[in-house]
C-alpha cells in the first residue's frame, strides 16, 4: 500500500433544525395555545484514532465529510431529531491542523482517541418558548444555527522512540534490518529508501523500543533538494536521534562535511528538533583496521566539536550493534515518553456550549414592548386560534 502522510479534507457539521410555529387546535379547545417544538441539533464531526491504519491514502480520494442536519421542530411540542454524527478514522500519530488559522486542533496519539473537529449547529426555538402572560399566542421562532465548516490538514507522524538521521547510503536501512524484523530495501545507490519505515527492537520478552528510518538528507534539503525535509516531521516525537555517519564513504566525500550538512538541515527545519538528544554513530567500521577506524572516528568527532561519547558499529556485520541497542534501552527507561499535545504539557481547555445562556439570549431578543405581533387576535375571536406550520 502506498504510504501517504499528508491529506487535506473538508469537514462540515450539520445545521441546527429550525423551531416551529404551531398552535394546539382540538375539538372543544378553540384556543389551545402554542405547541411548536424546538428543532434538533446538527450532527458533529469526530476524528477517531485507529491503530489498524498506517496511511492517509483514503483521504486522497474522499475529501469531503458532512454530518446530518437536525430536523425541524413539529407541532404538539415535538422536538426535531438530532442530526447523526460522523466519525472519520485516522492512523494513530495523526496531527490535525486547521488550514485557515494554522491552529493545531490535536494530536491523535492513542488508540480509540476521539477529537471533535466540527461542532454541529444549535437548534432553533419553537413558539412555545415565547409564551407569557401577555403573549399567549406568540408567532415568534428562531432558526437553527449553521454547523462549523473547517478545512483540515491531516499530518501523519510516526510514533517512534528512536529516529535515524544521515546522508543517503549511510547505512540506516541496513541498521534497522539488523536490529528488527523490518526489511526496508537496501541497495548501493542513493535514495533507496523513499518512504519512512518502522522497526521494533526487542531486547527481551519485556523490553523493546521502536526505530524510525527516514529517507536520507542532502545539502539543500530544506530548499527541496533530494526528497526535501518533509519526512523530518516523523522524528518530532522521537526521544533520541541516531546520527549515522559513514566513516569511509565510497564517493570519498568528507564525513565531517556530511555530518555538518545534516545538523544544518536539522536546524533549518526546527530548532526544537535540533535540540533533541542526538547520538553520534560511526557505521561501516569493518572497512578499516580497528585502530585506524578508532583514530578516524575520534578525529571526525574532534572536528565536529563533539564532547560526548560516540559509537562505532558495522550494521551489516552487527559489530557493536547489540551494545548500542542496550544503551538505547537504558536511555528509554530514564526518559519517559511525553505525549502531551501542548507546549507546556497542559491539556487544552474544553469549552462547553451554555444552553441556558443561549435560550435566554434568544428569548430576550423578543421585545415585550412590541405589541403589533398579534394584532389580529383578541379575546372575542370566534374563529379561534389559527393553526400555522412553518418549517
- The Cα 142–Cα 72 span in angstroms is 11
Helix ranges (DSSP H) in 238-320 = 255-269, 271-274, 290-304
Residue 314 labeled ligand binder? yes
pLDDT of residue 186: 63
Q: According to the model, what pLDDT value does residue 388 have?
A: 46
214 marked as binding residue = yes
What is the reported pLDDT for 352? 44
- Tell whether 348 is in a known binding site: no
Q: Is 171 annotated as ligand-binding?
A: yes
Residue 86, marked binder:
no
Q: Is 286 annotated to bind ligand?
A: yes
Residues 6+ positions from 80 with CB-CB distance below 8 Å: 17, 37, 38, 39, 40, 70, 71, 72, 73, 74, 123
Q: Is 64 helix (H, G, I), strand (E, B) or coil?
A: strand
Instruction: Tell whether residue 283 is among the known ligand binding residues.
Output: yes
* Mean pLDDT (10-residue bins), the chain, 391 residues: 73 92 84 87 92 80 89 87 91 88 88 91 88 83 90 83 82 81 59 69 81 73 59 79 84 82 81 85 86 87 84 86 88 68 41 50 52 47 44 50
Annotated ligand binding at 96? The verdict is no
pTM over 0.75: no
Q: Using the structure block, give the residue that is written with the C-alpha cell 566525500.
A: 253
Sorted by where each starts, the structural domains of the chain and their CATH numbers stand as 6-156 (2.70.210.12), 162-334 (3.40.50.300)
Nine-digit cell at 67? Answer: 454530518
In this structure, what DSSP letter does residue 334 have?
H
Q: Are 72 and 113 in contact (CB under 8 A)?
A: no
Q: Is 258 annotated as a binding residue?
A: no
Q: Tell me, what DSSP letter sits at residue 43?
A: P
Q: Is 315 annotated as a binding residue?
A: yes
**What are the distances in angstroms from CA 10 to CA 57, 115, 298, 306?**
15, 15, 54, 47
Q: Is position 285 annotated in a ligand binding site?
A: yes
Q: Which residue has the cell 527541496?
A: 224
What is the spatial distance between Cα 200 and Cα 182, in angstroms, rounded to a whole number? 8
Structure-block grid coordinates of residue 299: 578525529
Instruction: Say whether 210 sits in a helix, a strand or coil.
Output: strand
Burial degree of 247 (CB within 10 A; 0-12, 13-18, 19+): buried
Closest CA to 328 of 245, 241, 254: 241
Question: Known binder of ligand: residue 194?
Answer: yes
316 is in an annotated binding site: yes
Q: Would you state the pLDDT for residue 47?
A: 92
167 is in an annotated binding site: yes
Is 168 annotated for ligand binding?
A: yes
Amino acid at each position: 500500500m502506498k504510504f501517504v502522510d499528508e491529506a487535506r479534507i473538508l469537514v462540515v457539521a450539520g445545521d441546527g433544525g429550525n423551531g416551529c410555529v404551531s398552535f394546539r387546535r382540538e375539538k372543544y379547545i378553540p384556543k389551545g395555545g402554542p405547541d411548536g417544538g424546538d428543532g434538533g441539533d446538527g450532527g458533529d464531526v469526530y476524528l477517531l484514532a485507529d491503530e489498524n491504519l498506517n496511511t492517509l491514502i483514503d483521504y486522497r480520494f474522499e475529501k469531503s465529510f458532512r454530518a446530518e442536519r437536525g430536523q425541524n421542530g413539529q407541532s404538539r411540542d415535538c422536538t426535531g431529531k438530532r442530526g447523526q454524527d460522523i466519525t472519520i478514522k485516522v492512523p494513530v500519530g495523526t496531527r490535525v491542523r486547521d488550514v485557515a488559522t494554522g491552529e493545531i486542533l490535536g494530536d491523535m496519539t492513542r488508540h480509540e482517541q476521539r477529537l471533535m473537529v466540527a461542532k454541529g449547529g444549535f437548534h432553533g426555538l419553537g413558539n412555545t418558548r415565547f409564551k407569557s402572560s401577555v403573549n399567549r399566542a406568540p408567532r415568534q421562532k428562531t432558526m437553527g444555527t449553521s454547523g462549523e465548516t473547517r478545512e483540515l490538514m491531516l499530518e501523519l507522524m510516526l510514533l517512534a522512540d528512536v529516529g535515524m538521521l544521515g546522508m543517503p547510503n549511510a547505512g540506516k536501512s541496513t541498521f534497522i534490518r539488523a536490529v528488527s524484523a523490518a526489511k526496508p530495501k537496501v541497495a548501493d545507490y542513493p535514495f533507496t529508501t523513499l518512504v519512512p519505515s518502522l522497526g521494533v527492537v526487542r531486547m527481551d520478552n519485556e523490553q523493546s523500543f521502536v526505530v524510525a528510518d527516514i529517507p536520507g538528507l542532502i545539502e539543500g534539503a530544506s530548499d527541496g533538494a533530494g526528497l526535501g525535509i518533509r519526512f523530518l516531521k516523523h522524528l518530532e516525537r522521537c526521544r533520541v536521534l541516531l546520527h549515522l555517519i559513514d566513516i569511509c564513504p565510497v564517493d570519498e566525500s568528507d564525513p565531517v562535511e556530511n555530518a555538518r550538512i545534516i545538523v544544518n538541515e536539522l536546524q533549518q527545519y526546527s530548532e526544537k528538533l535540533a535540540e533533541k538528544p542526538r547520538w553520534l554513530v560511526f557505521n561501516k567500521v569493518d572497512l578499516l583496521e580497528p585502530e585506524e577506524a578508532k583514530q578516524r572516528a575520534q578525529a571526525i568527532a574532534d572536528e565536529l566539536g563533539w564532547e560526548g561519547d560516540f559509537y562505532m558499529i558495522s550494521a551489516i556485520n552487527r559489530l557493536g550493534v547489540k551494545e548500542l541497542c542496550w544503551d538505547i534501552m537504558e536511555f528509554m527507561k530514564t526518559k519517559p515518553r511525553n505525549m502531551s499535545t501542548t507546549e507546556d504539557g497542559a491539556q487544552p481547555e474544553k469549552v462547553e456550549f451554555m444552553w441556558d445562556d443561549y435560550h435566554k439570549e434568544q428569548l430576550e431578543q423578543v421585545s415585550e414592548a412590541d405589541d403589533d405581533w398579534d394584532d389580529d387576535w383578541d379575546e372575542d375571536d370566534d374563529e379561534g386560534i389559527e393553526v400555522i406550520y412553518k418549517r
